[in-house]
Amino acid sequence: MSAMPGTAMIMAAGKGTRMMPLTADKPKPLIEVAGTTLLDHVLDLLRDAGVGRIVVNVHYFPEQIEAHLAANAGDFDVAISDERDLLRDTGGGLIKALPLIHDDPFFCINADNWFADTREHALHRMAAAWDAERMDVLMLVVPFGRAGNTQGLGDFDLDEQGRLSREGGKRARPYVWTGIQMLAKHIVADPPAEVFSTNVFWDRAIARGRCFGLVHDGRWFDVGYPEAIGMTEAALAGA
């Protein structure tokens, strides 16, 4: 079992285009589901897991994110990765934030998903499953049939050894990425441009057989678009 990573990167810089018009005057991480902002839901997840340091990238309405963290994340060691000058996408955002990330491996979490009903804390399960000898990436995935509100076809195939792949063209796949991953710091390297997706790192790890998946044992909801908020709240309320 690996030690629990002490640092998590929270992806909070995006413009929230899918969430318009709700993001016309606020960033997506400050949208509320069941009375809690998406950012606070992530903070609760990290707080419960014992993660002490968070690195948060900002670009869209950055002052709102910074003010919210100042008011609600006082128990964390908070570092801001400032992307005001250029929104760098997820891969470029990780490259810019890397000097602020003190742990290896570290968590990276998107602020547009909602987790519920986990029997054992998902981050504890990930830390226990991490094997630095075999892994560069470990993603928390959920079976497509339990991916609440998903608008996709599924992201990955998963083999018996737990390795993820996605060979071939766009098609239905059995597992959906939840927005939570663990990354070895050495995989965050050799950027192809200033602006690029984390897919670059994933593809490298897949090609080396070092991208793994852990199946989430609870419910999960995509809350990245407006209609998903009410659907998620209804599901959480048992409707």
Residue-range domains of the chain with CATH: 7-236 (3.90.550.10)
**Percent of the chain predicted with pLDDT > 70:** 99
Predicted pLDDT at 116: 85
Average pLDDT over residues 151-166: 94
Paired tokens of 203: 């593809």
Q: Count other Cβ atoms within 10 Å, centred on residue 1.
A: 9
* CA end-to-end span of the chain: 39
pLDDT for 44 = 95
Query: Could you give the 3-state DSSP secondary structure of residue 55?
Result: strand
Asked whether residue 96 carries a pLDDT value surpassing 70, the answer given is yes
Confidence label for 3 from pLDDT (cuts 50, 70 and 90): confident
Give the residue among 136, 119, 80, 111 at the shortest CA–CA distance from 12: 111
Rounded to an integer, the average pLDDT of 129-135 is 96
pLDDT of residue 117: 72
What distance in Å separates the CA atoms of residue 176 and residue 145, rounded to the nearest whole number?
A: 9
The arithmetic mean of pLDDT across residues 53-61, rounded, is 97
pLDDT at position 141 over 70: yes
pLDDT of residue 169: 78
Is a pLDDT exceeding 80 seen at residue 2? Answer: no
Res. 112: pLDDT tops 70: yes
For 81-88, what is the mean pLDDT?
Answer: 97
Reported confidence tier of residue 239, pLDDT bands at 50, 70, 90: low
CA separation for the pair 20, 222 (Å, rounded): 15
Instruction: Compute the distance between CA of residue 165 and CA of residue 201 in angstroms, rounded to an integer.
Output: 13
Mean pLDDT within 103-121: 90
Q: Where are the beta strands (DSSP E) in the chain?
A: 7-11, 32-33, 36-37, 53-58, 77-82, 106-110, 113-116, 137-143, 147-148, 157-158, 164-165, 175-183, 211-215, 219-222
For the chain, what is the total number of helices (H) and then of strands (E)?
6, 14
What does the pLDDT average to over 191-198? 97
Res 151 pLDDT > 90: no
Q: What's the chain's average pLDDT?
A: 94
